[in-house]
């Protein structure tokens, strides 16, 4: 069954049930950063640039498992038992060309290396057999250009397209605002914890919280509510012990 998110034009086919969501990465990964912003950016650009082409988002590249196919018997797909090597953000199928696309906020060496790796995977994949007469090409869509990387991309045959509609900057501002608010909340919670532990007086905690941009009344309320929660938890624990 094919599925397309509501903001993706109908001629773009999404062959997955998995939705890309922002990820908080705590360890080094190989350039696997997804945001709704870049997903929308790529869908919008491809819809404008290739209105009549067949477009796949999350184009899986599968390594064949001949032993699994043979064991399953006749009639099974050549993808049966295979391993997904990777999936470029999109593939655009033209009359004699299949384009693999990745979308990033910025043009980087990692982005260039990633799309080149997908080209290598494609040539070994089961999916390439569906397009035996198509040449495969590498493409990057970015919102922020990096002139220092343009030459390296061109040298390796990677087309770079810079696309930055008005909503993109508005989205960045919203994300920045949300990040600042979360940082303020985290800092305020740490200050309240200091007051509860006795490292700060309530007056010191209120002053520091006010310095984060909160009103003095909001600071007092945070501390009071935290003390109430601690008190309620203590009463509940005592009641449990008594019973």
Look at residue 240 in the predicted model and tell me its pLDDT.
Answer: 67
Q: Domains in the chain, ordered, with CATH?
A: 12-164 (3.40.1350), 171-236 (no CATH)
Look at residue 153 in the predicted model and tell me its pLDDT.
Answer: 96
Radius of gyration of the chain (CA): 26
Verdict on whether the full-model pTM lies above 0.75: no
- What is the spatial distance between Cα 212 and Cα 181, in angstroms, rounded to a whole number? 10
Distance of CA 111 to the CA centre of its chain: 14
Q: What residues of the chain score a pLDDT lower than 50? A: 1-33
Look at residue 178 in the predicted model and tell me its pLDDT.
Answer: 79
Look at residue 101 in the predicted model and tell me its pLDDT.
Answer: 97
- Partners of 97 in beta bridges: 135
- What is the spatial distance between Cα 12 and Cα 15, in angstroms, rounded to a whole number? 10
């Amino acid at each position: 069954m094919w599925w397309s998110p509501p903001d993706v034009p109908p001629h773009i086919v999404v062959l997955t049930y998995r939705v890309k969501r922002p990820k908080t990465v705590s360890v080094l990964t190989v350039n696997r950063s997804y945001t709704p912003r870049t997903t929308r950016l790529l869908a919008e650009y491809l819809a404008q640039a290739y209105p009549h082409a067949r477009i796949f988002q999350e184009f899986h590249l599968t390594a064949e498992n001949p032993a699994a196919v043979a064991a399953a018997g006749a009639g099974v797909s050549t993808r049966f038992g295979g391993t997904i090597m990777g999936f470029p953000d999109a593939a655009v199928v033209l009359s004699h060309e299949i384009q693999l696309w990745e979308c990033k906020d910025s043009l980087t060496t990692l982005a260039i290396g990633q799309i080149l790796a997908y080209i290598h995977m494609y040539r070994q994949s089961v999916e390439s057999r569906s397009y035996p007469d198509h040449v495969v090409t590498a493409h990057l869509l970015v919102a922020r250009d990096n002139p220092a990387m343009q030459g390296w991309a061109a040298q390796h045959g990677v087309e770079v397209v810079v696309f930055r509609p008005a909503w993109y900057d508005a989205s960045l501002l919203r994300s920045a605002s949300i990040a600042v608010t979360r940082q303020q909340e985290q800092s305020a919670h740490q200050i309240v914890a200091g007051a509860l532990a006795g490292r700060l007086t309530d007056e010191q905690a209120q002053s520091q919280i006010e310095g984060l941009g909160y009103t003095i009344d909001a600071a007092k309320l945070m501390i009071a509510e935290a003390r109430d929660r601690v008190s309620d938890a203590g009463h509940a624990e005592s009641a449990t012990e008594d019973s």
